[in-house]
Amino acid sequence: MTIWDDLVGQPEAVQTLSRAASGEGMTHAWLVTGPPGSGRSTAAKAFAAALQCPQVGCGECHECRTALSGAHADVTLVATEHVHLRAEDVRPLIALAQQRPSAGRWRVVVIEDADRLNDTSGNLLLKAIEEPPPRTVWLLCAPGPDDVLVTIRSRCRHVGLRVPSVEAVAELLVRRDGVEHQMAAFAARASGSHVGVALRLATDEGARIRRREVLRLPGSVRGVGGAVLAAGQLAEVAQQESKAATEDRNAREREELLAALGATGLRTLPPAVRSQVRKLEENQKRRATRAQRDVLDRSLTDLLSLFRDVLVVQLGAGVELTNAEMAAEVEQLARQSSPEETIHRMDAIAQARFRIAANVAPLLALEALMVQLCPVTR
Amino acid sequence: MAAPSGTRKKSTSSTGRSGGSARTVPLGEVAPAPLVLLVGPEDVLAQRAMDDVTAAARAADPELSVERIAASGYERGTLALMSSPSLFGGGILIRIEGLEAAPEALVQDLTAYAADPVDEICVILRHAGGARGRGLLDTLRSAGARETLCQSLAKDDDKLGFAAGEFRRSGAQASPQALRSLVDALGSNLAELAAACRQLAEGLELSESTSARVEVEQVEEWFGGRVEVTGFKVADATVAGRADQALSLLRHALATGSDPVPVVAALAAKVRALAKVSVAGRGRSAELAPSLGMAPWQFDRARRELSGWTEEGLAAAVLAVARADAEVKGAGRDPVFAVERAVLTVARARRP
Ligand SMILES: [Zn+2]
């Protein structure tokens, strides 16, 4: 294997990064951009491995393996559960970046959500990026170049990832995760080439069922009442899914915190401990909220793909359907509406995604969306 | 199922009741009986007991007809009229309030009825206490009435239990700390405590969480601002189509420091409830409400408010509220204008 194996369908990026690791065009600050699921953090980790490995990324040595798994002492990965990366999140990273690498060849700091830097934290970071110590590399990841402050962008070398092909993603699932061919092809197509989502769809039957239920809503819901109930169902599914995804981790974190404070098994917690626990719970709540919004965004992306299929049929475009397994529903929706209506519905989905990302009550945004997706009965 | 009047059993003192002596039933165990007596000054408890008995009787007999009598203004013969078997054979429940001020006509009619009560009919009698009407109470007691005392709650445990019960009635729950905090603040006045519980349960709907319960933070917020109350008033007037009143309530609320966000949330909860009951079809609220995630009283209320609302109107209302929510949370420049527009749009979406 090579360290670049998991970065599918990105030959240009692989070439740029591996050349840089061997000294050709190396610089101290990088900006890796690409749509969700295209492999931004995968690219950053592979690049970190190439930088630490004596053979520029053999894929076998201790440096390579720890850098890829996130356990390398000189590679720091930062992701936030907050809406913003705040100044207090960034300050310790800047201090860390001043230190020489402990054992490796480089000190690598990866910020996975550079789009969440605000003006204050961004400007703090800017100073650190401008004059880094000789063995420090900053790797910033964001969906697009426009998502980071222009002053930061102009000091980074930019590597753009693109949406990998469905075939490349399917091939990765077969090779890396042992997914069966047909399932891999379905998952890659249905996920819109999002590697993480594709893996989940391929390996989790619950995720497939939930996706199908979501896609069935537009064809089955009638009237405003039905739309409001369907919106409630969508929101609840998202809540349950995010709860399931965070529950175990929450309980473990609480146990670890109590153990660290010497309060394991205490019936009533002393005030100091209680305030720490409360702080942890606040963070967990925030994480759950973000997870719920992420799940909802996924559902909305799925709905968007459904109406894109409807439009393909209405326009007779002859392109392969993303949701081939829903062909009957797609045909029916296509017959019942005009292309203009379909475009209006796609706009409504985009608006709901925007609203949910902007912290609007998700249920309300979904209700307005479902009302627009489902025909009003008269 | 017409039941000829002749088949109705008249009970005698030898059947069913133990020699005509009174029985005392604890508050939590009130149940339908030929004569149910609720005595004592705590009106909230008496109202709850009356509702519980009515609900239990209705659960046993969906055809039950409920009659109400106010003791002051009683006209001779009314009781006999109401207690005559109904044409279609459903059971009868009669609620008589204000026994402490019963006029002579009622005393005489009740005395006559108590001597020979009908087993299938449940008569609930409410006496707020005091010396007046004592003789009537004794008559009813010796006729075998089941008596429940509605005294002010003295113990905190009882008040906590009462508050928990109030949340349950609204289809909600509250954390122990939330209950504690409510009882600490309002425990001296059960009516206020009950109102607070109901408003907090309504507010819980706004949190959009299906499993959530009222936490102590929400109680503190409620004490601090009581914005939900105002928000719901605005929302009530809006979905009733009273645009002028809604707008003036809204302006008053905003002028006295209410935040537009919870006002929009209250409006959203209202419109959501209307949309849900619009697809519920015919049937009893106790059966339909749970599947819609609503408490029966919310369901009944929304059903009443649904008159004048069409599918198109509801669709326009849902869109207007969602738009306002996005605008008050930053997408618009003027949050006050955003709520005002939503209130007007929703109020006008209802057909007068
Ligand atoms: Zn290596």
Select the residue of A232, A361, A376 nearest B311 (Cβ to Cβ): A376
CATH classification (class only), B227-349: mainly alpha
Under the banding of pLDDT at 50, 70 and 90, the label for residue B211 is: very low
What residues does each domain of chain B span?
Answer: 23-149, 156-225, 227-349
- Least confident among A245-249, B38-42, B203-207: B203-207
For B308: left if phi > 0, alpha if psi spans -120 to 50, otherwise beta; the answer is left
Q: What are phi and psi of A75, to 5 degrees?
A: -115, 115
CA distances from A33 to A36, A84, A149, A196, B123 (A): 9, 18, 13, 17, 76
Looking at residue B15, what is its pLDDT? 39
Contact (CB<8Å) A365/B322: yes
Contact (CB<8Å) A372/B319: yes
User: B133: exposed, middle or buried (C-beta count within 10 Å: 0-12, 13-18, 19+)?
Assistant: buried
Task: List, in sequence order, every residue forming a beta bridge with A117; answer none if it has no partner.
Answer: A85
* Distance, CA of A86 to chain centre: 20
The alpha carbon of residue A138 is apart from the nearest alpha carbon of chain B, in Å, by 33
Tell me what the mean pLDDT of segment B308-328 comes to: 93
Task: List, in sequence order, every residue forming a beta bridge with B126; answer none if it has no partner.
Answer: B38
Mean pLDDT by 10 residues, chain A (378 residues): 86 94 90 89 94 91 90 88 80 90 90 88 88 91 88 91 92 93 94 89 88 89 90 86 76 83 77 80 78 86 94 89 90 92 95 87 93 71
Under the banding of pLDDT at 50, 70 and 90, the label for residue B228 is: very low
Looking at residue B88, what is its pLDDT? 59
Task: Kindly list the residues from chain B whose CB atom is less than 8 angstroms away from the CB atom of residue A355.
Answer: 322, 325-326, 331
- Specify the higher pLDDT residue, B254 or B319: B319
Interface of A with B in 190-249 (CB under 8 A): 223-229, 232, 235-236, 239
Cα gap A229→A213, rounded to integer Å: 14
CB A356 within 8 A of CB A238: no
Radius of gyration, CA atoms only, chain A: 23
pLDDT digits (tens, 9 = 90+) for B272-293: 999 999 988 788 888 888 888 8
Nearest residue of B to residue A366, measured between CA atoms:
B322
B23-149 folds as: Rossmann fold (3.40.50)
- Specify the higher pLDDT residue, B282 or B318: B318
Cα gap A111→A303, rounded to integer Å: 31
Cα gap B67→B122, rounded to integer Å: 10
Looking at residue A226, what is its pLDDT? 92
Select the residue of A228, A235, A361 nearest B276 (Cβ to Cβ): A228
pLDDT digits (tens, 9 = 90+) for B114-166: 998 888 899 999 999 888 888 899 999 999 999 999 988 888 888 999 999 98
Tell me what the mean pLDDT of segment B57-63 comes to: 87
The rounded percent of chain B whose pLDDT value lies above 90 is: 34
Residue B87 predicted with pLDDT over 70: no
- Specify the higher pLDDT residue, B339 or A239: B339
Under the banding of pLDDT at 50, 70 and 90, the label for residue B270 is: very high
Looking at residue B126, what is its pLDDT? 94
Q: Which of A83, A221, A228, A378 to mutate to test the interface with B (most CBs of B within 10 A)?
A: A228
Tell me what the mean pLDDT of segment B294-300 comes to: 80
ipTM for the complex shown: 0.73
The contacts of residue A108 (CB under 8 Å, 6+ apart) are A48, A51, A52, A67, A72, A74, A75, A76, A136, A137, A139
Architecture category of domain B156-225 in CATH: Orthogonal Bundle (1.10)
Buried b (16+ CB within 10 A) or exposed e, B243-258: bebbbebbeebbeeeb
